[in-house]
Amino acid sequence: MEKPFDIVIHGGVVITVNDDSDIIADGLICIRGNRLERIDTCSGTAPLPPAVKTIDARGMIVLPGLVNTHTHTPMTLFRGLADDLPLQQWLEEHIFPAESRHIHPEAVEIGALLACAEMILSGTTTCCDGYFLEDCVARAVLQSGMRAVLGQGVIDMPAPGVPDAADNIAAAERFIARWRNASSRVQPSVFCHAPYTCSSTTLQAAKKSADKAGVRFQIHAAETRTEKERLAEGHSSPVKVLDRLGLLDAGTLLVHCVWLDEGDVEIIAESGAAVAHCPESNMKLASGIAPVIELLAAGVPVGLGTDGCASNNNLDLLQEMDTAAKLHKVHRMDPTAADAATVLRMATSTAATAVGLGKEIGSLAFGKKADLILLDARQPHLIPMYHPISQVVYAAKGSDVHTSIIDGRVVMENRRLSTLNLEQILDRANELGRKIRRTDA
Amino acid sequence: MEKPFDIVIHGGVVITVNDDSDIIADGLICIRGNRLERIDTCSGTAPLPPAVKTIDARGMIVLPGLVNTHTHTPMTLFRGLADDLPLQQWLEEHIFPAESRHIHPEAVEIGALLACAEMILSGTTTCCDGYFLEDCVARAVLQSGMRAVLGQGVIDMPAPGVPDAADNIAAAERFIARWRNASSRVQPSVFCHAPYTCSSTTLQAAKKSADKAGVRFQIHAAETRTEKERLAEGHSSPVKVLDRLGLLDAGTLLVHCVWLDEGDVEIIAESGAAVAHCPESNMKLASGIAPVIELLAAGVPVGLGTDGCASNNNLDLLQEMDTAAKLHKVHRMDPTAADAATVLRMATSTAATAVGLGKEIGSLAFGKKADLILLDARQPHLIPMYHPISQVVYAAKGSDVHTSIIDGRVVMENRRLSTLNLEQILDRANELGRKIRRTDA
């Protein structure tokens, strides 16, 4: 007799986001270990395959777990600390002082745990993060059950955990060495802060370290007008600067790409680099609107990201999809731009490609890792349902996520986290918040 | 001995949105009948005032119920029926045919009940609606416990319930007569569809009827570029056309106002008319971005609206606040634009003014109607909390609303509606949805 599956999910509307964009009205998903072994239609009369755990998904939408291509998870601790301010004032008077005073290993771990709780509860199963003391983020991710690409920060100034900037590359290399074989759920990475905070030497050394280890190289690029204008004294663009330094290839993830010049889209596309698009953060900080439609048309894998909580202020990718679709429609004055299916890919399959995990996650297909979420569609704002993808992108919210499975493990069910002690995390985050508030200007 | 209050709410963070923008860290709110009788700070040692019902709001944010200044509630039935299409194709091939086939009294009532359920569950306590067969909307509103300004539609073509367009003004007048004294929670109104679908004669007659009865006159105006270009053959603007017809005064609510010409902001401001701003709908249909900052600076009461579910696709005003704030920041390239406090007013006090109910609702102040909501702030995406208003605008979502009180009555508590049979509404809406799907092109 066949060995029972570990999990069988039946009866939901399954949005596979596979190559054929299949949607299965009455779906059957079978999981063994951490892999998807069967994606099928329920046959009305046939008995369900035997399983250790059977999930009745009738009335639910089942889709791949969402992939957040850009986060700074510990910054949950600065959520709403300073809003509605000019960028420099926000950074220099609030965020940088708070980071220098309050970012220590325990804070990073608590902030990251808080972020993981929020992400799981709003449908994200994988994030691509960049911060300092990233070991603490890795421990939080492992504990939460999430999957992540984690970049140790590199910047040419003293940073939490790296008091001597001259040690920044070595610190990143040590991080990679510690985590590259520690867990199949954690992929180490290098996160260079930006072309204007790292010298060319640092940038090239960091990229070399990433390449040598075969890990992702992440970098903020072309986020603000000021950055663009300063960087090459107006004679070039951040993308061209990075290109000339040899930093653009299929292992690179460029974050933001708001201020692209003529030819930049083509340079990115030819290099094979991917882009993380953070529309809500770019809107809130008034950075601008990235030319995402052009990037996608040129074949660049563009994934959605929320950015950190200091500039969004939440990690809800379902809301980010809605905003992205609407923003690009009005920006181009074209209601057909950024259609729902494209935007859903930007939070699933294309996002997975962007963070270097396209073969493993991002769609519901045979052999892929079992990372998936179930949305409770029996709610007033999700009824009637004519087009499931439209419903997910334009009507659903993070709180509709009922169940989350990552790497074959149920990490959240009926909105209860099985991996984390939420009450304790909230208490500890509140305690840190009280300290941060006391020292904020 | 003093008669006990009906409801006492204690321990929450109270955002009053009153004239002084008071925020009370440990608030006490006392309700008698349908009125707020006391808004105060909890005194640590004093016993709570006696009450029929006492609500422990520790860990919650308490704020005025949200006011949605523009809805077409029955259009919940067309949620996601057709997305990502050019405007004319969307309207002519999907929405208009669906309306002509499926809009009958029962459908309007079910659609409106579904909308009321969604609105209450996401924090809206008052909506300003415009549709046809508006009597059915009124019955749904009454049943739900909500407060509403309800406009019977006027359009120069056959419409549901008004087969002969020549009868449109008389039908609106009959609607007003039936509802003007029926309930303190329902204010009848006249809703003229638009300057391009109503003749000047109709527009003036409709405004006259509204003025005679002392009710609100609502009209879509300057929504799309096409409307602006067609209306006066390029020689004028929709606002100037309406102004010349004598339709602009303090009793008028102009919906959208995206395509304003030079001088239009001043004309609106001088007239005393209010504006309903629907950013998500304007984004999704790629209509454009209304000059809201200029309107507010000129003193125009601008309230937020979600518009109908065919163009949004939900009725979540908490999300609409977030989008509005971020959209205007990036549109003006100014992170200080549309700050959180301003945007919160656009969904509460200013919105109440815009729909003609500024004296009764929109803030938590002595003597006002007891319309308020409690948000559960003990959730990962709402912690830490440095600035309650920022948290509400940038981090909260509709699903965070724990309790809703309208007109002194608890209509939802712990996310359970006390006024509506939600399961039955969802079933009936699904049934209508199946019929609509069968006939959609």
Q: What percent of chain B has pLDDT over 70?
A: 99
Residue A87, pLDDT score: 82
**Contact at 8 Å (CB) between A247 and A203?**
yes
Q: What whole-number distance in Å separates Cα of residue A392 and Cα of residue B212?
A: 46
The pLDDT value recorded for residue B234 is 65
Measure in Å the smallest separation between the Cα of A166 and chain B Cα atoms.
34
Same domain, B234 and B136: yes
Question: Who among A83, A288, A327 is closest to B283 (CB)?
Answer: A327
Return the percentage of chain A with pLDDT > 70, whole number.
99
* Bond prior to B313 in cis (omega within 30° of 0): yes
Q: Quick one: pLDDT at residue B43? A: 80
Cβ-contact A376, A400 below 8 angstroms: yes
* Residue B278, number of CB atoms within 10 A of its CB: 31
Q: Is the peptide bond before A384 cis (omega within 30 degrees of 0)?
A: yes
- What is the per-residue pLDDT for B46? 86
Mean pLDDT of chain A: 96
* B199 burial via Cβ count (<10 Å: 0-12, 13-18, 19+): exposed
Please check whether residues A12 and A143 belong to one and the same domain.
no
Is A287 inside any structural domain?
yes
Distance between start and end Cα atoms, chain A: 68
CATH number at residue B58: 2.30.40.10
Percentage of the residues of chain A whose pLDDT score is greater than 90? 94
Question: What is residue A53's predicted lDDT score, i.e. its pLDDT?
Answer: 98
- Whether A80 sits inside 8 A of B387 (CB atoms) is yes
CATH of the domain at B218: 3.20.20.140
pLDDT digits (tens, 9 = 90+) for B80-124: 999 999 888 998 999 999 999 999 999 999 999 999 999 999 999
| Confidence band, pLDDT 50/70/90 cuts, at residue A406 | very high
8 A C-beta contact, residue A83 and residue B394:
yes
Position A363 in a domain: no
Q: Which H/E stretch holds residue B413?
A: strand B409-413
pLDDT (0 to 100) of residue B232:
64
- Express each pLDDT in A300-341 by its tens digit: 999 999 999 999 999 999 999 999 999 999 999 999 999 999
Do the Cβ atoms of B394 and A422 come within 8 Å?
no
The reported pLDDT for the residue numbered B230 is: 83
Contacts of A50 (CB under 8 A, 6+ apart): A2, A4, A5, A8
Contact B434 A384 (CB under 8 A): yes
Q: Answer for the pair A298, A263: CB distance below 8 angstroms, yes or no.
A: no
Examine the domain organization and report whether B237 and B337 are in the same domain: yes
Residue B212 tokens, joined? 């005679």
Chain A residues inside the 8 Å CB shell of B339 = 83-84
- DSSP codes joined into one string, B228-280: HHHHTTTSS-HHHHHHHTT--STTEEEEE--S--TTHHHHHHHHT-EEEE-HH
Considering only alpha carbons, which residue of chain B is nearest residue A114? B380
Domain count, chain B: 2
Hey, which bits of B85-173 come out as E strands?
124-131, 147-154
Task: Out of A83, A384, A390, name the one closest to residue B430 (CB).
Answer: A384
- Residue A421 in any domain: the answer is no
3-class SS letters over chain A: CCCCEEEEEECCEEECCCCCCCEECCEEEEEECCEEEEEEECCCCCCCCCEEEEEECCCEEEEECEEEEEECHHHHHHCCCCCCCCHHHHHHHHHHHHHHHHCCHHHHHHHHHHHHHHHHHCCEEEEEEEECCHHHHHHHHHHHCCEEEEEEEECCCCECCECCHHHHHHHHHHHHHHHCCCCCCEEEEEEECCCCCCCHHHHHHHHHHHHHHCCEEEEEECCCHHHHHHHCCCCCCHHHHHHHCCCCCCCEEEEECCCCCCCHHHHHHHHCCEEEECHHHHHHCCCCCCCHHHHHHCCCCEEECCCCHHHCCCCCHHHHHHHHHHHHHHHHCCCCCCCHHHHHHHCCHHHHHHCCCCCCCCCCCCCCECCEEEEECCCHHHCCCCCHHHHHHHHCCHHHEEEEEECCEEEEECCEECCCCHHHHHHHHHHHHHHHHHHCC
| Residue A162 domain flag | yes
* pLDDT tens-digit series, residues A336-379: 999 999 999 999 999 999 999 999 999 999 999 999 999 999 99
Cα torsion for A35, A40, A41, A45, to the nearest 10°? -80
- Whether the predicted pLDDT of B198 surpasses 80: yes
List Cβ neighbours of A413 (8 Å cut-off, separation of 6 or more).
A402, A403, A404
Residues A208-222 have a mean pLDDT of: 98
Query: Which of A394, A414, A415, A437 to mutate to test binding with chain B, by most B CBs within 10 Å of its CB?
Result: A394
What DSSP element (H or E) covers B307?
Answer: none
**Angle at which helices A168-179 and A134-144 cross, to 10°:** 20
The residue range of the domain holding B142 is 66-354
Residues A270 and A311 in one domain: yes
Using the structure block, give the residue that is written with the tokens 């440990």.
B26
A311–chain B nearest CA distance, Å: 9
Give B287's contacts in chain A (Cβ within 8 Å): 330
Residues B219 and B183 in one domain: yes
Do B31 and B150 fall into the same domain? no
At A253 the pLDDT is 98
Kindly list the residues from chain B whose CB atom is less than 8 angstroms away from the CB atom of residue A87: 335
Q: What's the CA gap between B199 and B167, in Å, rounded?
A: 14
* Averaged pLDDT for residues B49-59: 97
Are the beta carbons of B85 and A335 separated by less than 8 Å?
A: yes
Name the token pair of A309. Answer: 């909580």
B280 vs A contacts (CB less than 8 Å): 322, 326
Q: Are residues A53 and A73 in the same domain?
A: no
Residues A178 and A106 in one domain: yes
Give residue A274's identity as a one-letter amino acid code: A
User: Is-contact B24 B39, C-beta < 8 A?
Assistant: yes
| Phi, psi (rounded to 5 degrees) for B418 | -95, -10
C-alpha A279/C-alpha B282 separation (Å) is 17
pTM equals 0.98
* β-pair type (B401-406, B372-376): antiparallel
Q: Per-residue pLDDT averaged across B382-387, rounded?
A: 97
What is the spatial distance between Cα A242 and Cα A195, in angstroms, rounded to a whole number? 8
pLDDT (0 to 100) of residue A355 = 98
A278 and A207 housed in the same domain: yes
How many Cβ pairs closer than 8 A exist between chain A and B?
A: 232
| Nearest residue of chain B to residue A330 (CA atoms) | B286
The tokens for B272 are: 């005393």
Q: Does residue B76 carry a pLDDT above 70?
A: yes
Within a domain: B229: yes
d(CA B119, CA B124): 5
- Taking contacts as CB-CB distances below 8 angstroms, the residues of chain A near B311 are none
* Residue B429 maps to a domain: no
The total number of residues shown for chain A amounts to 441
At residue A44 the predicted structure's pLDDT band, cuts being 50, 70 and 90, is confident
Alpha-carbon distance of A196 to A227, in angstroms, equals: 7
B421 falls within a domain: no
User: Best interface-test mutation with B: which of A77, A89, A119, A330 has the largest number of B CBs within 10 A?
Assistant: A330
Q: Are strands A372-376 and A401-406 parallel, antiparallel or unpaired?
A: antiparallel
Tally of residues, chain B:
441
| Per-residue model confidence (pLDDT) at position A41 | 96
The yes/no answer to whether this complex scores an ipTM above 0.90 is: yes
Strand order in the sheet with B13-15: B23-24, B13-15, B60-64, B372-376, B401-406, B409-413, B416-417
Of the pLDDT bands very low, low, confident and very high (cuts 50, 70, 90), residue A235 is confident
The answer, yes or no, to whether residue A232 has pLDDT greater than 80, is no
> What is the three-class DSSP state of B37?
strand
Nearest CA distance, A390 vs chain B (angstrom): 6
Tell me if residue B84 falls in helix, strand or coil.
Answer: coil
> In terms of domains, do B31 and B142 share one?
no
Q: Is the pLDDT of residue A47 over 70?
A: yes
Tens digits of residue pLDDT in A250-280: 999 999 999 999 999 999 999 999 999 999 9
Residue by residue, what is the 3-state secondary structure of A90-113? Answer: HHHHHHHHHHHHHCCHHHHHHHHH
Interface probe, candidates B315, B381, B422, B435, chain A, greatest A C-beta count within 10 A:
B381
**pLDDT over threshold 80, residue B233:** no
More confident residue, B83 or B440: B83
Which residue type occupies B93?
A: E
Contact A388, A23 (CB under 8 A): yes
Q: B220 and B326 share a domain?
A: yes
Tokens of B325: 């704030």
Chain A residues whose beta carbon lies within 8 Å of the beta carbon of residue B430: 383-384
Q: What share of chain B is helix, strand, coil (3-state, %, to 5)?
A: 40, 25, 35
* pLDDT for the residue numbered B1: 60
Question: In this structure, are A60 and A72 located in the same domain?
Answer: no
Q: Which pLDDT band holds residue B204 (cuts at 50, 70, 90)?
A: very high
Say how far apart CA B192 and CA B152 lie, in whole Å. 8
Token output for A66: 């969402």
Q: Which residue of A has its CA nearest to B282?
A: A330
Gap from B88 CA to chain A (nearest CA, Å): 11
